[in-house]
Amino acid sequence: MDGQSTLHDGCDRRNGTSHRSVRRRNTWAYVMVGPYLVSVTLFFVVPFILAVPVSLTNWSIIGRPSFVGLDNYIRLFNDSSVLQALWNTVRYVLMQVPSLMVIGLGLALLLNTRLKGRTLARVVVVMPYVVNVVVMGIIWRWMFDPNFGIINHYLRRLGLSGSWWLTDTSTSMLSIVIANWWWSAGFNTVVYLAGLQGIPRELYEAAAVDGATGWVAFRHVTLPCLRPVTFYVLLMDTITSFQLFGEPFVMTQGGPLGSTTTLTYKIYNSAFIELKLGYASAISVLFLAVISALVLLQSRVVKSGID
Amino acid sequence: MGLTNERTEGRSYRAARRTRKLLQYSLLILVVAFYSIPMIWLVSTSLKEEGRVFSKTIEWLPRPPTLENYGNAFSRYPLARWLINSAIVAVATVSLTILISVPAGYALARAKFKGSSILFGLCLLSLMVPIEAYLVPLYIIFSELRLVDKYIGLVLPQLSNGFAVFLIRQFVQQIPIELEEAAIIDGASRWQVLTRIVAPNLTPALATVTIFRFMASWNSFAWPLIAASSDAVKTQPVGLAIHVFGVVGGSMASPRYGLSMAAAFVATLPTIIVFLVMQRYFVEGIATSGLK
C-alpha cells in the first residue's frame, strides 16, 4: 500500500479486515464447540468405532487379547442363545411399540378434552416417568407376584384364575410390556398432547362445514396432522424398546428359560459375567448396526416429510 | 309436529352428549387409577410390618403403619452413601453439561463453520443411540484409563449426550440476533455477548436441561452397574438392585418387599420433588425436544 489510491486502498483494507473477521468469527465458534466436540468424540464416537476392532479379538478382562478374525461373528450366528435374544428383542419391540403408541395417543385425546380433573390426570400419567428402571421393576415384580401380588388378587376376586406373569415363559415378556404401559406411556402422551394442541382450530371448523365431525374428522384431520409426531414417537419408542435391559435385569434376570433375555442383556452377560468382551463386542456391533439403520431410516423419512 | 321432532332430537342429542361425558369420565377414572395405584401400593407396602406384607388379604392402609422399613433400609445398607453418590454424580453431570453445552449450542446456532453440520448430526445421534449399545468398548477405554470405580468415570460418558446442545441451539435460534450484532459492532467479544446478552435469556432452556439431565443421571443404571462396583462410588439404582432387591446371580428368591419398597421410595423422592416443582419445564422439555 503506497497510499496513492486511497479509495482502492480503503476498499482493499475493508476486504482484508472482513476476510480476517470471517476467519476470526470461525475461530470463536471452534473454541466454543471445543469441549463438547471432545466429549462427544471420546465418549461416543471412539467407543462406537472401537466396538469393531475389539469384536475381532478374544478380549477378556484378564489376560492379553489376541486377534481371532471373524471367529466371534461365526460363533454368534451359530449361538442359539444370541439368536433367541435377537428374537426376544424383536418380539418385545413388536409388542411394546404399537401398544405404547396407541395408549399414548388415546390418553392424549382423552386428556385434551374439557374434563374436570384432567390437569391432575396429566400429572398422574406423566409421573411414573420420573421413577428409575430398578424401582419400576421391583414395584411391578411385586404387583405381578403370583401368590401375593395385587394383580392376581383382584383377578381372582373377579372370578378369573390369575396368571404366573413374570415366572411363565409365555407371559414373561407380556408382563414387561404391561409394566411399560405404566412407566413410559406418559412420554408419548405429552408429545401427542403437544401435537394435538398444534393443530389449527380452523381445520376442524372447515371440516365441520363439510360435515366431517367425530371419527371422520379424526381420520382426515387429526391423524394426518399428527404424522410428524407419530414418526418421532415411533422412532424413540423403537430405539428405547430395542435397548430393553433394566427390566429383565430386575424383574426376571432374563428368564424364565431365557424368555426375556434381550440383546443388551446378552451383551451384559457375555461381557461382565462370562468376561468375554470380544464376543460381547461382536453382539454390540450387530446391535449398533440395527440401531444405526433405524436412525438413518428415520432421518430419511423425516427429510421426505419436510420436502 | 315439527316442534316435537326438534324437541326429541334435542333430547337425544343431549342424551348422547351425557353418555359421552359419562364414558369419558369413567375412562378418566380408570386411567388415574391405573397410573396412581403402583405408587400408592409402593408406599402402602413400605409402611407395613415385614410379617404382614405377604398376606392373602389386601390391606391398602397398613394397620398399624410403621416406619421400621425405612429405618432398616438406612441401617442395614449404605443407602445414605448411595444417595450421596448419586447426588454428587448428578450435580457434577448437570453443571459440566451446562458449562460445555451452552457455548456449543450458541456457536451451532449462530455460526456456520466447517464441520458444524457433522457436529450437529453427532449431537442428534448421541441422543438416539443408547449407551447399552457401546457399553463394552466404553468399559474397555475407561478401565485402560483407570477411570472405573471413580466419580469422574460415572460423569464423563454422560457429557457426550447432545440433549443440552440441541435444546440450547434451538432456543438461541429463536432469540432475535439484532442486539448481539449491535454489541459486536460496539466492540464486544463473542464471550461477552454470550455471557451478558444471551445467557440471561436462556433460563427456561437451562431449567429444562437441568431437570432432564439430573433425572437421567440420577436414574442411570446400565453404566454405573459396571463402572461403580465399590460402595464408595456406587449409585442408588445399582445399590438397590444388587443389595436391597438382591437380583444378582440369577436369584429369583422373593426380596423383602417392605424393606425394598421403603428404599425404593426414598430413592425416588428427589425426582418426584423435582418433577412436582418444575413440572412446567418438564412437560415443555418433552414437547420441544419431541417436536423440535
CB spacing of A44 vs B126 below 8 angstroms: yes
> Which one of B68, B86, B105 terminates a domain?
B68
CB spacing of B111 vs A28 below 8 angstroms: yes
Q: Answer whether residue A7 shows pLDDT above 50.
A: no
pLDDT digits (tens, 9 = 90+) for A229-259: 888 888 888 888 999 999 999 999 887 899 9
Give the pLDDT confidence score for residue A62 in this predicted structure.
Answer: 75
Same domain? B52 vs B188: no
pLDDT digits (tens, 9 = 90+) for A178-203: 999 999 999 899 889 989 988 888 88
Contacts of A230 in chain B (CB under 8 A): none
Contacts of B194 in chain A (CB under 8 A): 32
Q: Answer whether residue A2 shows pLDDT above 50.
A: no
Mean pLDDT of A117-133: 90
Task: Give this prediction's pTM.
Answer: 0.88
Mean pLDDT of A154-163: 90
In order of A98, A226, A238, A272, A295, the CA distances from A232 in angstroms are 13, 10, 10, 33, 11
Give the pLDDT confidence score for residue B9 in this predicted structure.
Answer: 64
For residue B290, count other CB atoms closer than 10 A to its CB: 19
**CATH number where B148 lies:** 1.10.3720.10
Give the pLDDT confidence score for residue B4 in this predicted structure.
Answer: 54
- The residue of chain A nearest to residue B269, with distances taken between CA atoms, is A131
Same domain? B178 vs B136: yes
Give the pLDDT confidence score for residue B148 in this predicted structure.
Answer: 93
Give the pLDDT confidence score for residue A208 in this predicted structure.
Answer: 87
Residue range(s) defining the domain that contains residue B60: 2-68
Contact B46, B40 (CB under 8 A): no
Give the pLDDT confidence score for residue A23 in this predicted structure.
Answer: 52
B215 interfaces chain A, CB cutoff of 8 Å: yes
> Which one of B33, B53, B68 terminates a domain?
B68
Same domain? B149 vs B20: no
Interface test with A, best of B95, B118, B136 (most A CBs within 10 A): B136
Give the pLDDT confidence score for residue A201 in this predicted structure.
Answer: 87
Same domain? B86 vs B191: yes
Same domain? B173 vs B141: yes
Q: Answer whether residue A14 shows pLDDT above 70.
A: no
Mean pLDDT of chain A: 86
Please identify every stretch of chain B with a pLDDT value under 50, giving residue numbers as ranges. Answer: 1, 291-292
CB spacing of B268 vs A131 below 8 angstroms: yes
Least confident of A87-96, A292-301, B11-20, B23-32: A292-301
> Which one of B68, B84, B101 terminates a domain?
B68
- The matching CATH number, chosen from 1.10.730.10, 1.10.10.10, 3.40.50.2000, 1.10.3720.10, for A79-306 is 1.10.3720.10
| Nearest one of B266, B284, B75, B35 to A123, comparing CA atoms | B35
CB spacing of A59 vs B104 below 8 angstroms: no
- Grid cell, residue B107, equals 456457536
Same domain? B16 vs B142: no
From first CA to last CA, the distance across chain B in angstroms is 57
Contacts of B136 in chain A (CB under 8 A): 51, 54, 267, 271, 277, 280-281, 284
Contacts of B189 in chain A (CB under 8 A): 28
Domains contained in chain B, number: 2
Same domain? B61 vs B101: no
Same domain? B56 vs B91: no
Give the pLDDT confidence score for residue A266 in this predicted structure.
Answer: 94
Contact A126, A189 (CB under 8 A): yes
Q: Answer whether residue A1 shows pLDDT above 50.
A: no
Same domain? B101 vs B14: no
